[in-house]
Structure 1
Amino acid sequence: MGKKSSLTNRQKLAICLKKQREKITQSELARWAKDEFKLDKLPGQQTISDILKKEEEYMAMTEHRLNAKKIREPALPELELLLAQYITDMANASQPISMASIIHQAKIQCRRRQLEVPEDFQFSIGWLTKFMRRYGFKSRRIHGESGEVEVNADNIQDEFNAVKAKISEFPPERIYNIDETGLFYKQVPRRTISKQSIGGLKVDKNRITVVCVCNADGSHRISPYFIGRYETGQGFNGKISNAYKYYNNTKAWMTKEIFRKILRKIDSAVYAAHKGKRVLLLMDNAPSHKNLDIKLENIEICMLPPNTTSHYQPLDAGIIAAFKKKYRAMLFHQATIRYNEGKLEKLYDIKLKQALDWSKMAWERVTPETIRNCFLHTGLMSNEVSEEEVAAQEAAVLKDDLDLNEQINNHLVTVGTGEDSLDTVNLSSNDENDDIHEILTMDQRFNQLMNSQQ
């Protein structure tokens, strides 16, 4: 009987997942792999290290490639890794990319980076097809609406089932979700009632990025984190206080650096809330969420299947919408006060400090029933709640929503937006969430790749 020492790609993927899910050294990983896969000898430290460096490659593999032991080394591995990450980033940003443009970019990067290309190598459709097969990419039709995502496709369903299995290992109070949203904090109603057309109203695009975190039973929500464009802001004397958990960059982007800081703060918060018991944190695979190179003591991260967060992410299932509606209610309430005081020129003009304060208040006012209801509606949770309890939760959510609608209607009617105002006003702008994550250029991605290999 031959010696059993080499690892299949599926086993290498298992090693990467083990490293993701547990705080474990490479030596411990090697011992675990030997026992788990009944190997004749311990994998070397360099073997484990090499496997972990190729984690993204194993994560992207098809079933066929996962069952193979050896992969024929591509002619230009550095270029392929760069292109694979670039395509992934573009997909995460919902940016279309053609096969011809990939070949064009490959040629440009080879010239720019002075990569050594074999004499007999051709940037052909055949090469591109094999590259795409190696990384699990396919040419797909673009769908315009989130509702058209093929959530029942086999690969997505497998990932969904894996996520559900992981979630089932944790009680609801230790299952969390994190997500970012853009907020135009001075946004005026987009439509109004008038006898004639109205011009000259400038749409205010002052935006902050708000980071929301809560658990599945609604018993623990972490005060929001904020990202803006400036170090200072209206309403503050100098720099914005650390009490606001505020970060800044020129685009109000979520970056890897900021996300690492936020995760470490969340790590401390959940340690205090759950006395050191580990929690599961659900998140989407936005560019700033991946390859973070961070060790967390109390959090296990679980990535949701790509391009399905409108279906599976609880915060996207109505929690953030409820937060924004409560924020707009406060904004429109102040507009009513200003209207009654005769201050008509700046009905919706507020300072950044006020926007941060209202955001914190709005987040606290999202009801636990709304949070629990949205987690259940994603289908991720094992529904151990009775039909009567679900009905009671939904009734409470509906009552809260109707009460809020009435408040907003009253405010909008007062300032002249007209009757049935909620039918004519957008409470959440379609472009609020555009461009809130940092996207790396090809040059930046290549430099990151080179630095990681040094």
Structure 2
Amino acid sequence: GEYDSEQITAEMTYSVTAVSKPVVEEVEDSNNNNGEFKCMECNRTYKDAGNLKNHQFVHRNDFKMWTRKVHEGDTNIFLASNGWLNRLTKRSDFKSKIMYGEKGSADEPAAQAFVKAFYQTLLTDFKHLSYGKVLEIVMNFDEFGWIIKILPKRSYLHSDTPVKAKKPTKARVTVLIGCSAAGLKFKPLVIGKSIRPLCFRSMNMADLPVHYYHQDSAWMSSELFTDYFNEEIVPTIKKNFPQQRVIVTMDNATCHPPTLNDIDDLIDVQFLPPNTTSLIQPCDQQVIFSLKSRVRNVYFTKLLTYVRTHPEADNPYQDF
């Protein structure tokens, strides 16, 4: 018989819009105000299924439970097995996708408005420059947190080997990177908790390939960012683009003070609108991900080399 649509709406957390042809098609009816759908698998029609359109998620168990319920009372028992669901999703071109992320909650209208205004600024104020030169004078900076000394979550072991899982390390640093659209790279900034980490005890801190700062929480602050702006960003820009106006973009975090625009008249600092970095923050578009991947590969290579060359160590991972 017909399954109660209100009960479906209360129990299911899936979207009928996700169940597209040839599995489900909307019945063509000018008076179809309730959203009537027809299942192409079993040639059944389900009324009021349109009430589920606003839901965002469909879990495989929910889908199987729903199909079992609509087949209640059939002569042949319908199991809705995993094999049936796998074949159904394959031939209907369904994909299991991650539904959580920053982009889904971003402010798209604000991002579009900023991009439009930014593009207009380039056309108006830099029309005398070539396309390649414009790429050189547009720069972006972004911070990210980094869990250091992190180990892989999985490893290959013999099936009889017992596993004693340990808590992951919580040691972290904050890293700030910056670059231009043409590829000019600024010396990164790293913020840790220690004034002088043990790994740098025999080194001259001025020789490091990064600017190292320390803070109790290892977080970025407006004071640290302003100091880095004066010590790294301004000198690098003046060296590469003397007497040339440049645009520096960054998010509107509280650690990025508006007073940055007062430091130099030729450096125009533009802050991205709130909740738009996942859409239009250049360094968020694979730049940070690529950096993490490269450094992580180097770290693991050196770590494994240390483990192999120090078989007598009780805890080589910690010693390293």
Report the Cα distance in structure 1 between the residues aligned to 2:244 and 2:162, rounded to whole angstroms: 59
Which consecutive residues of structure 2, in runs of 5 or more, have no partner in the other structure?
1-98, 127-133
* Counterpart residue number, 1:131: none
Instruction: Give the drift of 1:253.
Output: 1.0
Instruction: Give the drift of 1:181.
Output: 1.3
The answer to whether 1:247 aligns with 2:213 is yes
* Counterpart residue number, 1:233: 197
* Counterpart residue number, 2:103: 147
Counterpart pick for 2:112 among 141, 157, 164: 157
* Counterpart residue number, 2:234: 267
Q: Is the 8 A contact 1:208 1:228 kept in 2?
A: yes
TM-score of the two chains, using structure 1 as the length reference = 0.42
Q: Is the 8 A contact 1:283 1:304 kept in 2?
A: yes
* Counterpart residue number, 2:168: 203
TM-score of the two chains, using structure 2 as the length reference = 0.58
Q: Is the 8 A contact 1:159 1:305 kept in 2?
A: yes
- CA gap of 1:269–1:349, structure 2 versus 1, over 3 A, is farther
* Counterpart residue number, 1:224: 188
Counterpart pick for 2:288 among 320, 327, 334: 320
* Counterpart residue number, 1:192: 155
Instruction: Give the drift of 1:346.
Output: 2.2
- CA gap of 1:144–1:233, structure 2 versus 1, over 3 A, is same
Q: Is the 8 A contact 1:163 1:304 kept in 2?
A: no
- Matching residue's letter, 1:208: V
Report the Cα distance in structure 2 between the residues aligned to 1:287 and 1:148, rounded to whole angstroms: 23
Instruction: Give the drift of 1:164.
Output: 2.8
Instruction: Give the drift of 1:150.
Output: 4.9
Counterpart pick for 2:301 among 297, 313, 333: 333
What SS does the aligned partner of 1:176 have? strand
Report the Cα distance in structure 1 between the residues aligned to 2:319 and 2:258, rounded to whole angstroms: 39
Report the Cα distance in structure 2 between the residues aligned to 1:347 and 1:294, rounded to whole angstroms: 45
Q: Which of the pair is proportionally richer in helix?
A: 1
Which of the two has higher C-alpha Rg?
2
* Counterpart residue number, 1:53: none
Q: Which of the pair is proportionally richer in strand?
A: 2
* Counterpart residue number, 2:276: 308
Report the Cα distance in structure 2 between the residues aligned to 1:311 and 1:292, rounded to whole angstroms: 25
5 Å-filtered alignment, 1:27-38, equals none
* Counterpart residue number, 1:174: 137
5 Å-filtered alignment, 1:10-409, equals 145-153=101-109, 155-168=110-123, 169-170=125-126, 171-194=134-157, 195=159, 198-218=163-183, 220-237=184-201, 241-244=205-208, 245-265=211-231, 266-292=233-259, 295-297=262-264, 298-343=266-311, 345-347=315-317, 350=320
- CA gap of 1:303–1:144, structure 2 versus 1, over 3 A, is same
Percent of paired sites with the same residue: 26
Q: Which structure has more RCO (C-alpha within 8 Å, separation ≥ 6)?
A: 1
* Counterpart residue number, 2:92: none
* Counterpart residue number, 1:90: none
- List per-residue Cα deviations over 1:415-447 (Å, max 9, x = no partner): xxxxxxxxxxxxxxxxxxxxxxxxxxxxxxxxx
- CA gap of 1:337–1:304, structure 2 versus 1, over 3 A, is same
What SS does the aligned partner of 2:153 have? coil
* RMSD, aligned α-carbons: 2.5
How many pairs are equivalent?
206
- CA gap of 1:232–1:342, structure 2 versus 1, over 3 A, is closer
What SS does the aligned partner of 2:198 have? coil
Report the Cα distance in structure 1 between the residues aligned to 2:245 and 2:260, rounded to whole angstroms: 19
Instruction: Give the drift of 1:304.
Output: 1.5
Instruction: Give the drift of 1:180.
Output: 0.8
Report the Cα distance in structure 1 between the residues aligned to 2:277 and 2:165, rounded to whole angstroms: 37
Instruction: Give the drift of 1:235.
Output: 2.6
Instruction: Give the drift of 1:328.
Output: 0.5
- CA gap of 1:167–1:202, structure 2 versus 1, over 3 A, is farther
Instruction: Give the drift of 1:149.
Output: 3.0
- CA gap of 1:198–1:240, structure 2 versus 1, over 3 A, is farther
Instruction: Give the drift of 1:320.
Output: 0.9
Q: Is the 8 A contact 1:210 1:224 kept in 2?
A: yes
